Structures are given as structure tokens and as C-alpha cells.
Structure 1
Amino acid sequence: MAKVGLVDRTIADIRLYMRENHLLPGDAFPSEASLSETLGVSRAVAREALRALAALNIVEIGNGRRARVAAPDATALSMIVDHTVYTRQLSIQQVLDVRRTLEIRTVGLAALRRTDLQAQELQAIVEKMFTCIARPDDLMELDILFHEVIARASGNSLYSIIINSFRVITRQTWHIGWRSRASDENRRENIRCHERIAMAIIAQDAARAEAAMVEHFDSAAAVLIHAGVI
């Protein structure tokens, strides 16, 4: 128990070290020996603390180089969301409700803040979606990317992390929803809904973008209810 407490304290000390030394993503820590000496712990404890932070994607380790500050991503939050759904502490309906709330906001911001490059990326994704209608796995990945680009275009990196954290859950439910859209026309209409969202963002029409996103999530909820998922 003493070692666990020491590791926890060292984790906190490493995070404090990052802040006091103004370390940013990509910046390297001192060598393991130097860091352990600075923190007043053994190299084994320092190594275990760094590994724990690496599991949370706060630190990058490996390849024989010194540990570095990691860029923020959604991995840790995604694991939490997946775990709470798997253990039935959170339902798919609750996840969808949170996503709906967040994505109505992100799409409105994206319409106001998107760059020309992001607008072109959204348009290209929609065009690819139409060509992938017979390849559901590819289409699913494009669908996920579409929403992640919108989150990124919102200009708020926290929205991007949260939206990206839903990736695992989306991959678990997407094919169920796709099969529930039994006809080719129904499936094409789903892609056209993405197209309406993209066109509203490109036109920088926040109200139209939000309305299209509401339509999209209402449709997604309807097919999942029909499939008995929610």
C-alpha cells in the first residue's frame, strides 16, 4: 500500500513539475535518473508513475527516448465512456442525448468558425460517403470523421476531445442503425442529411446547420429505437 501511495504522490509531483517548468506537448522530461532524483523517489517509482501517466495519454514513453508531454486526445475519456456503457452505468440513449446536445453546439460554432480547408474537407467526406454506400465499414469511418471534423472546426479543442471519445461507442452501434435503414433510398437520405449539414457549415449558416444536426440525431434515435437498441 505504501508503494501505491508513493506512486500516486509521484504522479501528482510529475504533473506539478510539468506546470512549474511550463512543459508543452512534445517537450521532453529530464532523464529517468534525473527526474527520480528531483522528485526524491527511486527510478522504479518514477518509471511506474510515468507509465500510469502514459496510460492516460498525458505522457508519451517508449522507443528508448526520454518521456515527453503528450498532446491531449480522447483515449482515456473514450475508455471511461465505453466502460460505463458496458457495465450498464450509462445507456446508449444517454450517450446519444449528450452527443446531440454537444453536436448541436459544435455545428453552430463550426458554421461560424470553420476554415476554408475544413469546409473543403467536409465536402470531400460527403462526396466519398456517396461512393461508399456499398461498403459500410468505410462509410462508418467517414461518418465518424465527419463529426470529428465538425468538432475540430468549432475552434474549441475540448469539444473535439469529447466528441472523439464517442468513437468506440459509435463503432459498436453504427452497423445496427445502418441495417435498420433497410432501403437504399433510406440510406442515401442519411448521407444527404450529412450533406445538408456540410452545406450549411460551408455557407456559414449556423441556424441551418443546427437544424440539420437536430434532424440527423432525431433520425439516428428513430432507427436505434426501431432496432431495439434504445
Structure 2
Amino acid sequence: MKKAVVQVEEQETGLVERAIADIRSYMRENQLRPGSPMPSETAMAMQLNVSRTVAREAFRALAALGIMEVSAGRRARVAAPDAAPLSIILDHTVTMKQLSVQQVLDVRRTLELRTVSLAALRRTDAQARELLEIVKGMFDAFEAPNDLMELDIRLHELIAAASGNSLYAIIVGSFRVITRQTWHIGWRSRATLENRTENIRCHQRIAEAINAQDPEQAEAAMTEHFDSAVNVLLRAGVN
């Protein structure tokens, strides 16, 4: 009896996996874009010749992967690219000690040296203005660490968006969960007013170099920023 139950479960798993692949093929063949409505679970089940339960599980799996948007009472839609699924993976691997924070920072440093150079070359005037406004907000939020942290995250994500490559934006966006775990450690480790002010000034130099469309200076400022961040966290025992 137990063996039969296992076989049924394995069969259902195989059907769901096939349905996931078929639904993705449906999206490609119909050239669906983010926001495009999907057929209902019932209609998709009939089209794929599977049960509604299998179709529902496939929809849920695709939603978890960030490929579809599924919510109660609303028609499922194709999702826009989003950092959330990768962010969950990073959070899990760091929490489970499969990756260290320093390994994440090493990859992030490599990526952001590239994004900041591209941003200096490709940024729009509106993006340049927003970066400078964010830095001003960071100075204004000096005594409000949580607000300052969110502005810091926004600045790095905007730089990635300004690179003109949406994949960079997704990957850099996925780092926010790790940043929120380590940012306050770094801020406390910069114990003096001078050190904390210099940290914000470093962000200011990055924003100003992007505004001036100077990729070399932008990369130099970002290098300085990451070297400082890595050293601060190492001194605080984060590795």
C-alpha cells in the first residue's frame, strides 16, 4: 500500500513538472509579456490534458519562481523579472553556512564595479539627479540608521538599473536581504562621527562621478567603498 502511494506521488510530481514546462512553452509560443493574462487553471488544465490540481500546483510553482503572478480572486498574469527568488536562495545559502557573507561581497564587488562604470556611461539625467538626491537624503538621515540603510540599498539598486542591463538590476537587487542583515553591523563598527560621515561621502563621490559621466572615477570610488565595507565587516567578525 505504501509503495503504491509513493508511486502515485511520484507520478503527480512528474505531471506537475511537465505542466510547468508546457506552461512556459505556452508563454514563449504566444509571446506573452509581463502583465499578460494567463488562461484560468481550468482552461490550462484542459489544454494540457491534466487535472485542475496539477495545473494549480504548476501555477503555484511558477509563482514561487517569480515567473507568474498568482493571487486569490484575480486572473494569473506573467510576472515581470524580479530579484525575490534569487534573494531567497542567497538568504538560505548564507543562513545555512553554504556561502559566507564575504563570498557574497566578493561577487557583489565584481558586479558593482561593472555596473557603476556602465551607469556613468548610460545613466539618464533623471537617474543622475535621483542618485544625488539619495545621497542628500543619506546625509539628512544620519541619525536614523534604518532610513539610511534603505537609502543605501536604493542607491546601489538604482546604479544597477542605470547600467541599462536588467540582469544586473535583478542580481544586485537580490543582495538586499544580505545587506539588511549586515548593514547595521558595519554602521556600528564605524564608531566615530568622522568614519560614518566618510562612508556617506564615499557614496557621494560615486554619485557625482556617475553624474559627471566619468566611468574611471566612478569605478575608483566604488572600489574604495567596497574595500572599506569588507574591512569593516571583517573587523566586526563577519566572514
Report the TM-score, using the length of structure 1 for normalisation. Answer: 0.99
2: CA distance between counterparts of 1:75 and 1:209? 28
User: Aligned residues: percent identity?
Assistant: 70
Letter in 1 for 2:37: A
When the two structures are aligned, how many residues end up with a matched partner? 230
* Structure 1 residues 174-185: aligned runs within 5 Å: 174-185=183-194
Aligned counterparts, 1:94-173, within 5 A: 94-173=103-182
1:87 aligns with 2:100: no
**Consecutive aligned runs of 4 or more in structure 1 exceeding 4 Å deviation:** none
Counterparts of 1:43 and 1:11 in 2: how far apart (Å)? 13
2:231 aligns to what? 222
The alignment yields a C-alpha RMSD, in angstroms, of: 0.7
**Cα drift, residue 183 of structure 1:** 0.4
Q: 2:203 aligned with 1:186, yes or no?
A: no
Aligned residue number for residue 5 of structure 2: none
Q: Any idea what SS the aligned residue of 1:41 has?
A: coil
Q: Tell me the amino acid that sits aligned with residue 189 of structure 2.
A: S
How many angstroms does 1:185 deviate by? 1.1
Q: Partners in 2 of 1:223 and 1:35 — Cα distance?
A: 53
Contact in 2 for aligned 1:176/1:227 (Cα 8 Å) = yes
Inter-partner Cα distance in structure 1 for 2:150 and 2:28: 36
User: Partners in 2 of 1:83 and 1:11 — Cα distance?
Assistant: 24
2:47 maps to which of 38, 62, 85: 38
- Using the TM superposition, give the Cα deviation of residue 65 of structure 1 relative to its aligned residue in structure 2, in angstroms: 2.0
The 1-side partners of 2:226 and 2:12 are apart by 48
Aligned to 2:86: 77
Deviations 1:143-192 (A, max 9, x none): 00000000000000000000000010000000000000000111000000
Aligned pair partner of 1:213 in 219, 222, 228 = 222
CA distance in 1 between counterparts of 2:25 and 2:44 reads 12
Aligned residue in 2 for 1:19: 28
2:56 aligned with 1:47, yes or no?
Answer: yes
Alpha-carbon separation, structure 2, partners of 1:193 and 1:146: 12
The answer to whether residue 19 in structure 2 is matched with residue 7 in structure 1 is: no
Structure 1 gaps, min length 5: none
* Ranges in structure 2 where 5+ consecutive residues have no aligned partner: 1-9
Deviation at 1:137, TM superposition (A): 0.4
Q: Partners in 1 of 2:14 and 2:72 — Cα distance?
A: 28
CA contact (8 A) 1:25 1:70 kept: yes
Contact 1:32 1:66 in 2 (8 A): no
Alpha-carbon distance in structure 2 between the residues aligned to 1:228 and 1:57: 34
1:147 partner amino acid: H
Contact 1:59–1:70 under 8 Å retained in 2: yes
